[in-house]
């Protein structure tokens, strides 16, 4: 019963955080950047200021689809960020370049996260199937093998969610430090806006990790309870 309350609670908090983040992004997307630079220009400047010249900056379709791809060394920015000249665009562009800087400097947590990607890719594909069928087999045939595999796979993806947290926090820290040092965020409102936007973006990762942990505890309790 406690697990169910946690699952419901996390679900509600997740919706609140997601809504809050989107509202914050919309608010700071409407706050013009004094420097007048676009997200793409800011990304290029941050990369060059950090001695990085082999990373391409490209525009990708969608909203809030911004990400850094270490495999092909690209900073991928949504159109609103790529062309945007707002505080939100600056914050997001600098954040994604923060990942490129992590990559170039061999940041430990990013290396660990990247090393996990192949196994997480497999685990994420089998998790739903193994958990769903595994629970049924555990109930009706007292067989726990598939459920055990599902719990292990879910444990891997949960660990990945938590490993992602220091990577995201560090990228935001690098972004804010550089934005101030490069005089991109010229005044207090711009600095505070960028910081606030990145804070709520980070909160979505925190909630995702907690949600994964509670889900893991739920299925682990089923496995251990059935075994008893």
Active-site amino acid positions: 96
Residue of 64, 88, 55, 80 whose CA lies nearest to 179: 88
H helices present in the chain, as ranges: 2-29, 39-49, 79-82, 87-104, 108-140, 145-181, 188-227
How far apart (Å, rounded) are the C-alpha atoms in residues 144 and 159? 22
Burial of 99: CB neighbours in 10 Å, binned 0-12, 13-18, 19+: buried
């Amino acid at each position: 019963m406690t697990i169910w309350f946690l699952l419901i609670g996390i679900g509600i908090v997740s919706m609140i955080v997601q809504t809050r983040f989107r509202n914050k992004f919309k608010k700071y997307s409407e706050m013009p950047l004094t420097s007048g630079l676009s997200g793409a220009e800011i990304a290029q400047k941050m990369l060059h200021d950090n001695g990085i010249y082999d990373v391409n900056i490209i525009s990708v379709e969608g909203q809030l689809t911004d990400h850094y791809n270490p495999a092909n060394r690209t900073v991928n920015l949504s159109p609103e960020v790529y062309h945007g000249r707002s505080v939100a665009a600056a914050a997001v562009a600098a954040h994604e370049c923060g990942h490129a800087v992590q990559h170039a400097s061999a940041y430990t947590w990013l290396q660990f996260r990247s090393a996990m990607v192949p196994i997480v890719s497999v685990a994420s594909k089998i998790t739903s199937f193994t958990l769903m069928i595994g629970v049924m087999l555990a109930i009706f045939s007292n067989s726990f093998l598939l459920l055990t595999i599902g719990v292990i796979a879910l444990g891997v993806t949960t660990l990945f969610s938590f490993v992602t947290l220091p990577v995201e926090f560090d990228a935001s820290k690098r972004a804010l430090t550089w934005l101030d040092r490069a005089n991109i965020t010229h005044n207090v409102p711009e600095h505070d806006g960028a910081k606030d936007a990145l804070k709520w973006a980070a909160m979505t990762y925190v909630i995702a990790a907690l949600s994964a942990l509670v889900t893991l505890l739920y299925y682990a309790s089923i496995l251990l309870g059935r075994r008893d």
